[in-house]
Structure 1
Amino acid sequence: MTVELMYKDKVMTRTVVDEVNKTVSFENFTDDNIRRMFGCKKTATYEDFERFLERRCFPRTRDNASDLLNTLGLTEYNPLEIVKKTSGKMAHDTLWVRFS
């Protein structure tokens, strides 16, 4: 799976994720660490990718989390599935996530 962190319409980081072998490789297209999927890291683990996804979601402990999951058509809190549905959009920034 290829996952791109976007800033407006520009690719900031392109990441290839192998979900079977739990590996991640990526390329940055910006020098701005804040707009990079893994900040200043030169390499990333699958766990780093999972943490990135979770940061692009509403908190697991949010009071109305089950209502939000219902709205998204999900039955459990799964950051990958949430970000696929929401594009990882947050109210406070213009970064978003594209899957291909």
Structure 2
Amino acid sequence: MNEMELLYCDLQRKKAEAESRLLEYRKRLDDISGQKQSITIKKIHGDLYYYSQYRRDGKIKSRYLGPVSPGSIAEEERKQMEIESLTDEIRELQWNIESLERMTEYLQKRRKKEKIVDSLLFEVYWKDEITARVYARGSDVIISRFTDNPGKQLFAEKKMTRYQLGRIFELRCWEKDRPDINEILEYLGLDEYNPYEIVKKTHGVSCNDYIWFRFPGEKITSKDVLVR
């Protein structure tokens, strides 16, 4: 199981735990059979009385608790403190669950993309001369090199990591932080900056050389892609 799969499983576990606690806190709140109320003191005919106030149907309601005396409403105060604590816990858990859902949704998209590019094959050309054939599966990348000319060859070795290949893709793309990158991505029909998806659209061409990529199924030559 790779790092992304482990992270996805961890998020799922945390979400399940949060949902379980949310159900528990909601049940405890229901068992208390009350809503958050504020306790006030009213003076009536010269005597002081405790009242609880709460909102119902858009109106403020009052409930008599008893005359003011030390500790006479301690039980009600403890109840209100527990209601407030549970309400805060529920609110925080709901926020955490929403955050975990967003993170899980993002990872699901990344997992789909990762599966799509798990196996990758493409050819590298200098003008119409093939210089390399690249095959990637999982984290391993194998390169068949057909020239040692450094002006034509992108790959110095016959093997590399997926990360190293990703860096080469990045070097064949525009800078991620250039001011108009969002407009460029929109023009290419892409939702995010993904070097692999970009080079599939641009064939990895650059104004600095005559190197370009051909992906399986493409019947094209250098005249179709090069900008020089």
Corresponding position of 1:95: 211
SS at match of 2:159: coil
Whichever residue aligns with residue 3 of structure 1, its letter is F
With CA pairs under 8 Å and 6+ residues apart, which has the higher RCO, 1 or 2? 1
CA distance in 1, matches of 2:182, 2:169: 18
Q: Is the 8 A contact 2:124 2:132 kept in 1?
A: yes
CA distance in 1, matches of 2:197, 2:144: 23
Q: Rg: which structure is higher? A: 2
How is 1:70-89 mapped onto 2 (pairs within 5 angstroms)?
Answer: 70-89=186-205
Corresponding position of 1:51: 167
Q: Is the 8 A contact 1:3 1:17 kept in 2?
A: no
CA distance in 2, matches of 1:66, 1:43: 33
**Compared CA separation, residues 90 and 70, structure 1 to 2 (3 A):** same
SS at match of 2:167: helix
CA distance in 2, matches of 1:4, 1:43: 15
Q: Is the 8 A contact 1:16 1:24 kept in 2?
A: yes
CA distance in 1, matches of 2:135, 2:204: 17
CA distance in 1, matches of 2:205, 2:124: 11
Question: Can you give the 5+ residue segments of structure 2 that lack an aligned partner in the other structure?
Answer: 1-119, 217-228
Query: How much is the aligned-residue C-alpha RMSD, in angstroms?
Result: 1.2
Corresponding position of 1:35: 152
Corresponding position of 1:7: 126
Q: Is the 8 A contact 2:132 2:153 kept in 1?
A: yes
Corresponding position of 2:6: none
Q: Is the 8 A contact 1:13 1:36 kept in 2?
A: yes
SS at match of 1:58: coil
SS at match of 1:35: coil
Q: 1:31: how far off?
A: 1.1
85-94 vs 64-73, greater mean Cα deviation = 85-94
Q: Tell me if 1:23 matches 2:134.
A: no
Q: 1:44: how far off?
A: 0.9
Q: 1:32: how far off?
A: 1.1
The count of corresponding residues between Structure 1 and Structure 2 is 97
Q: Is the 8 A contact 1:17 1:23 kept in 2?
A: yes
CA distance in 1, matches of 2:152, 2:165: 15
Whichever residue aligns with residue 54 of structure 1, its letter is E
Whichever residue aligns with residue 90 of structure 1, its letter is S
Q: Tell me if 1:62 matches 2:175.
A: no
Structure-1-length-normalised TM-score: 0.89
Structure with greater proportional helix content: 2
Question: Can you give the 5+ residue segments of structure 1 that lack an aligned partner in the other structure?
Answer: none
Structure-2-length-normalised TM-score: 0.41
